[in-house]
A and B are shown apart, each in its own frame.
Chain A
Amino acid sequence: MLSSIVRRLLQTIGVVLVMSALVFAALYLIGDPVSMLASPEATEAERELIRQSLGLDLPLWHQYLIFLNKAFVHLDFGNSFLTGEPAMRLIFERMPATLELATAAMLLAVLIGVPLGIYAGLKPENFGARSVMTGSVLGFSLPNFWVGLMLIMVFAVFLHWLPAGGRGPVEAFGPIQLSVFSWEGWRSLMLPVATIATAKCALIIRVARAATRECLPLDYIKFARARGLSETRVLGVHLLKNILIPIVTIAGLEYGQVFAFAVVTETVFSWPGIGKLLIDSIITLDRPVVVAYLMLTVVFLSLLNLLVDIIYTILDPRVQSKAGA
């Protein structure tokens, strides 16, 4: 098992290097990197400084190494054109907001999706089960921003129950700021979380249902029932343990997707996370921030995939027993 983890780790590093090479190529080979990375208002002296720090008169491979060094060792992606702040710092400041959103949404999706999926898998021809499945089609086909708009229209504009946007008050939690500690904070979280959770919940329902249908006819379930265990125990313990594998895998991979799709939700709800930062930076052509965001996402997604792979390897008893034998 260790060897497969190491292999995957190396693959991950390979992917990150390939992506960084692509970004490097886009910046350095297509067009002039100085005009890409220097603020349009920069004076000639400042451009010269940037030219030197990028090492543009050195051979290409050397420039790539400098780029890698700055990116991964110093986390230096240059300064935002708009605000003059280091791009990476901007991203780290805004990341907790997106983390809050993504984590709460995935938790909600799993907590609601798994029971519904199991229910749909138990008696698939049942009317209830079929409506759950139809509901799930609605859930993942409706565009994210549309769901958000509808929620705003109903809950904020007509009913005035919840705020139409913005993040609630925050408190420090170690090094980061979170808004989950107050009722006000939760009021602001509810609609954006519901928006994201709708599509992910639909997906989890389908995964849970498929896994349930696959596991139900298997021997160990029959065996558990034969032993006279209550249905709750059969489902809640034995079945659940086994369908957790695909669910955890999918949930983990989708977490990464949620992080990215937060761009839309954060725009609809004016949520100050990195998604909104990305859109604003793209629209205002603030390239250092876009580059920093891309590299961060590449690393984050690759690590996430690696983590999910490892967890899968640990959880899957078939792999375990093979390793043990």
Chain B
Amino acid sequence: MDIALESPAVRAKRESMLRVFAEQFLSSKLAVLGLILLVLFLCLAILAPWIAPQNPFDIGTLKIMDSKLPPGSASSSGAMTHWLGTDGQARDVFSAILYGLRISLVVGLVSVSLAFAIGATVGLVSAYFGGRTDALLMRIVDIQLSFPAILVALVLLAVLGKGVDKVIYALVAVQWAYFARAARGAAIVERNKEYVQAARCMSLSWQRILWRHLFPNCIPPLMVIATIDLAHAIALEATLSFLGVGVPVTEPSLGMLISNGFEFMMSGAYWIAFFPGIALALVVVAINLVGDHLRDIFNPRNEI
């Protein structure tokens, strides 16, 4: 028997909750702006192969005579205009930003999803079983959290080497603990509520209780964490690439583009670092604006 059947009353309540949520969200103009920017960037990234005038990862198509052109120049073959200029390897900066955005977003989304899955599971299990399991798991989480993310990521990458997949592993290792802590916190509150007690009395399996009952009620705080974590993941990947231990140099993410452009900054070719930098800043700030407002909605008392 499935006790999660919805009566019309429950469904109506759920729909009005969504409406309330939408109203609350839309009340912050900044958050709405952030959301619009985010959707825009996602579209740009998905449509990159069609929008970008050049595929900057196909190095056979790069003509070195077109390197370091300022914004607005035409390419030597006249085939395209480089609206944001070209970088030191003759990559069109606009195309490079679009493709770099893809890598940044993919790395961010995949690592957050994996960290979410792992962390939420650990947190929920910890909260449900309580006692020694809880103490042990949370101690591990605490130790992990007390270590600066960047150090953990650096050391892992030093061991694993360069590459997009290795960066994702490192990011997951850094982030899962946040999800675990949040999931456990939310689940502990839920665990003592009546419906969970009722479910236990009915001798449902613990997996069922966990996933069908505890988990849905923990989603709001986890979504807040996921949003903010996405921004952290993207910023962290950019930082690691900037330091030279992230993605390989021929398929640059936004961070790598900025790193390459750093050297050209002093000599006047500012556009090579500046535009990717703006793009990165906009993405990260947009996600944070959305996440910040979500946090205000779901945890009005916890304002930090």
Contacts and interface: CB of A to CB of B under 8 A. Distances in A.
> Do any beta carbons of A and B sit within 8 angstroms of each other in the complex?
yes
A181 B231 CA distance: 39
A15 B139 CA distance: 10
Given A134-B30, A157-B265, A263 B143 contact: no
Interface in A263-322: 263-264, 267-268, 278-279, 282-283, 290, 294, 297, 301-302, 305
Interface residues of B, number: 38
A19 B143 CA distance: 9
Interface residues of A, number: 44
B258 interface: yes
Given A137-B288, A146-B277, A305 B148 contact: no
Nearest to B151: A260
B235 A143 contact: yes
B242 interface: yes
B239 A297 contact: no
Interface stretch (B36-44, B79-87, B279-287): B279-287
A149 B155 contact: no
Contacts of B284: 141-143
Interface stretch (A44-52, A82-90, A170-178, A206-214): A206-214
B147 A301 contact: yes
B262 interface: yes
Contact of A301 (B146, B289, B303): B146
B288 A146 contact: no
Given A145-B242, A153-B265, A297-B151, A138 B277 contact: no
A6 B63 CA distance: 67
A29 B254 CA distance: 37
Interface in A76-123: none
A279 B243 contact: yes
B239 A282 contact: no
Contacts of A39: none
Contacts of B201: none
B18 interface: no
A256 B148 contact: yes
A256 B288 CA distance: 24
Contacts of A256: 146, 148
A150 interface: yes
A149 B262 contact: yes
Given A213-B303, A261-B148, A149 B277 contact: yes
Contacts of A305: 146
Contacts of A141: 231, 235, 284-285, 287-288
A260 B262 contact: no
B277 A150 contact: yes
B258 A149 contact: yes
Contacts of B277: 146, 149-150
Contacts of B288: 137, 140-141
Interface string A123-161: 000000000001001101111111001101100010000
Nearest to A18: B143
A290 B155 contact: yes
Contacts, number: 103
B74 to A, nearest CB: 27
Contact of B239 (A206, A257, A264): A264
A111 B231 CA distance: 27
Interface stretch (B49-57, B92-100, B106-114, B266-274): B266-274
A263 B155 contact: no
Nearest to A141: B288
Contacts of B292: 137
A164 interface: yes
Contact of B285 (A142, A157, A297): A142
A120 B258 CA distance: 34
Contacts of B281: 142-143, 146
A15 B142 CA distance: 11
A163 B255 CA distance: 24
A213 B304 CA distance: 11
A268 B285 CA distance: 21
B238 interface: yes
A152 B285 contact: no
A26 B160 CA distance: 13
A283 B303 contact: no
A134 B124 CA distance: 33
Given A149-B265, A278-B154, A282-B154, A209 B303 contact: yes
Contact of A257 (B148, B245, B262, B273): B148
Contacts of A259: 148
Contacts of B146: 256, 301-302, 305
B239 A143 contact: yes
Interface in A233-261: 256-257, 259-261
A267 B243 contact: yes
Given A137-B292, A141-B231, A207-B304, A263 B150 contact: yes
B64 interface: no
B244 interface: yes
12 contacts: A15-B143, A138-B285, A141-B288, A142-B235, A143-B235, A143-B238, A145-B238, A145-B258, A256-B148, A260-B151, A263-B151, A264-B243
Given A143-B255, A145-B238, A263-B150, 17 more contacts: A137-B289, A141-B287, A142-B235, A142-B285, A143-B281, A143-B284, A145-B242, A145-B258, A146-B277, A157-B265, A213-B303, A260-B151, A261-B148, A264-B150, A264-B242, A301-B146, A302-B146
